[in-house]
Chain A
């Protein structure tokens, strides 16, 4: 499975890679430091679904294109055949962010950093869970 980690935080990228490698080695991990390069990648490959990540762990606060703007951009691509599972991942515990994430149909859940081994195990072991 292709998993994209969209986060400007190197520490989070580092910790998530290590955890996935430990829990379920063999997944292809795609790291993006901002929402914009992630969206550009999807747009460039939307006719090749096999190249696109099936699971996206999306940070909210990013310098160029934040998590919300990424979701709006993805909506505007109108890529009807591409429907990845997206999880908002943030260190914020602001309930407003949690509520806002629920207004996007593609967002399957809101996860608070740091991600635990158990959380990631559940995400990876049941790829079709919604």
Chain B
């Protein structure tokens, strides 16, 4: 193996920069560098030899480690494979100053120096500076990319141009707008196809500006050219608009609207103008017509009998109101114009209104609604509004017509209420209402027939109502209907209706002839079920009949008084008992004939019964006969009270002649008085002398009494015996009288 010095000498002769390294991984100490290396790197040998490679050549500032790693892997390759390793275009920048590095690219070849035994003694790194080559390649690549991009863009532009030309071609074909392209420098106008169609010129005509000017209406040309020149001369202006009349090839003037776009050079001179002409003849005509109608529409607004106004859709402020609105709402026009539409709504409706306007009211869309408004007076009215969009100068506005429907709603509500009342009266009332024809066929019956008579309306309507009438009453009822041929209304006395279950109902009916009425077209029957009343009346009649029979048989004087009218009816007894041929049929007559000493007592008895709701009362009193004498009577009264009110409605009674009985009773009573007197006499008067005698006897018989006592006792005994005799005589006289009187 040659020495290091020999190797250095050998490598110094090579023009390629080389570094000879020791294979002492990981240091890879620099053993030597050749002259070419020192020249290329502008270093000296002493600064490099003996230092580890990566210490001498540290990583560049912008190296993220990947470039250093490439060198390290080359060394590892050489060590492990003992074969050369080439790195192309390795970047390793050399320092050009303290803070800057010069970009350099190298082709780095690394290979081992082996002895015969294959042992690696040194590693040589040979670096060829290829910086110039790399940069040249880079520029070439950049140029290529740029060319490719430009080519793509050009193709794109060409494509777009093609599309644009096609679009221009087809637009020209399709549009009625006249497109032109005026080359100002050449003073040539290229017209689109529509120009030819609309104005009747040929495609071969060249149209310099003078030609165009001759086509413009003489009255318009001066102002038009003035406007055009002024716009062309103003570098800041690129758009030109004009309205004028243009003459067609057939010499007819048409109104056109022109919009031109001016193209200028760098100095701001107008070089070209591309624009569009539109035939606005029809629009002009419509505007003219509209102008002529404007006054009419204004009259329609201001003279409209319905309140109308215009309001700003954004601010909701009134913009205009008509006379009807002023008259109806009570605000002056000035007041209206200072208000918003919210001011004529109840406060609580304002939020709802704003929401409705934002949601439902759209420009150009007709809208109608019902809402509440408030007049200046505070009166709240219900209105139906209809609105539509209009332009009011620059403002988006709504024109609104308001129809006050307050009265209409009230009338409708009143009608509904009336209908409801009528329906309730019909359904819930106790009267049954039916419409039938003269033959009895039912056209209508109120639903309460089911409740009142237990029959469904559908089972009644269409059937002959007369068939439900009791057979015995039917001819009478049919006859009653015939009365309507001579009068409008007739009341039919109660008759019997037989329901499907065979139950009989008494019905009272008022029939009204409404055959001439278009709506009714029949006989209106207002019927009332009076079964209970009629049955009660029948019972009363039966009782009365019975009463009349009994009345004829009895010897009592029977009376019947109507407590309301105070009318009093007597049977024949008043004649039989008291001798009256004619009586006044009232209560007062009875009252006047009761004995004055008895009348108050009897009246109190009757009043007491009435007050305490006691139906039965009795009383004994004296009643004056036709001949002026009085008879003792026993009167039995029976009161009838009205169920719901509890008031007496009737009183029936019977007067019984008890004169004989009273006389007998008096006689018995007198007799009893006499007997009592006799008994008293026996108990008291007789016992007194008798007791004396009984008491004296022991005194007389007692031997211990002295003579004086006995004499006194004897004189008392005599007196007592005489008294007793007198009393016994008196008793005998009274007993005789009593026997005689009985």
Determine the chain B residues whose CB is within 8 A of the CB of A10 once the complex forms: 716
Mind listing 26 A-B residue pairs with CB under 8 Å? Answer: A11-B695, A11-B719, A12-B692, A12-B695, A14-B712, A15-B692, A18-B699, A18-B705, A18-B709, A22-B705, A91-B684, A91-B687, A91-B691, A91-B692, A93-B683, A94-B683, A94-B684, A113-B687, A113-B692, A113-B694, A114-B692, A114-B694, A114-B695, A114-B696, A116-B698, A117-B698
At the interface, yes or no: B720 with Cβ under 8 Å from chain A?
A: yes
Q: Is the CB of A15 within 8 A of B684?
A: no
A14 touches B698 (CB 8 A): no
A115 CB-CB contact with B under 8 Å = yes
Interface flag for A45 (CB, 8 Å):
no
Contact of B683 among A11, A92, A115 (CB under 8 A): A92
Q: Which residues of A contact B705 (CB under 8 A)?
A: 18, 22
Interface of B is mostly: helix
User: CA of A116 to CA of B719 in the docked complex: distance in angstroms?
Assistant: 21
B720 in contact with A11 (CB, 8 Å): yes
The size bracket of the interface on B is 20 to 34
Chain B 685-704: CB-based contact to A (< 8 A → 1; otherwise 0): 00110111011101100101
Per-residue contact bits, chain A 62-95, to B (CB 8 Å; 1 contact, 0 not) = 0000000000000000000000000000011110
A8 to chain B, nearest CB (A): 11
> Does the CB pair B688–A91 fall under 8 Å?
yes
Bound Cα distance A115, B692 (Å): 10
Q: In whole angstroms, how far apart are the Cα atoms of A70 and B695 in the complex? A: 25
A99-128 contact mask (Cβ, 8 Å, vs B): 1 or 0: 000000000000011111100000000000
Smallest distance from the beta carbon of A35 to chain B beta carbons, Å? Answer: 17
The 6 closest A-B pairs by CB, nearest first: A114-B695, A113-B691, A91-B691, A91-B687, A91-B688, A94-B683
Residues of chain A within 8 A (CB-CB) of B687 are: 91-93, 113
Measured CB to CB, the residues of B under 8 A from A are 680, 683-684, 687-688, 690-692, 694-696, 698-699, 702, 704-705, 709, 712-713, 716, 719-720
Q: Which residue of B is nearest A97, CB measured?
A: B683
Q: Which of the residues B684, B692, B719 comes within 8 Å of A61, measured between beta carbons? A: B684
Chain B residues lying within 8 Å of A14, measured Cβ to Cβ, are 712-713, 716
Chain B residue contacts of A9, Cβ below 8 A: 688, 692
Chain B residue numbers with a CB within 8 Å of A91 are: 684, 687-688, 690-692
Are B695 and A115 in contact, with the CB atoms below 8 A?
yes
Q: In the docked arrangement, what's the CA distance between A93 and B680, Å? A: 10
**With A94-B683, A114-B691 given, can you name 12 additional A-B contacts, CB distance below 8 Å?**
A11-B695, A14-B716, A18-B709, A22-B704, A91-B687, A91-B692, A92-B687, A93-B687, A94-B684, A112-B691, A114-B692, A114-B694
Q: Which residue of B lies closest to A113 (CB)?
A: B691
**Cα A80 to Cα B604 with chains together (Å):** 49
Binary contact track A15-45/B, C-beta < 8 Å → 1, others 0: 1001000100000000000000000000000
**Chain A residue with minimal CB distance to B688?**
A91
- What is the CA–CA distance of A81 and B149 in the complex, to the nearest angstrom? 159
Write out the residue numbers on chain A whose beta carbons fall within 8 Å of the beta carbon of B694.
113-114
> Which B residues touch A15, using CB under 8 A?
692, 695-696, 699
**Is there an interface contact between B684 and A11, defined as CB atoms closer than 8 Å?**
no
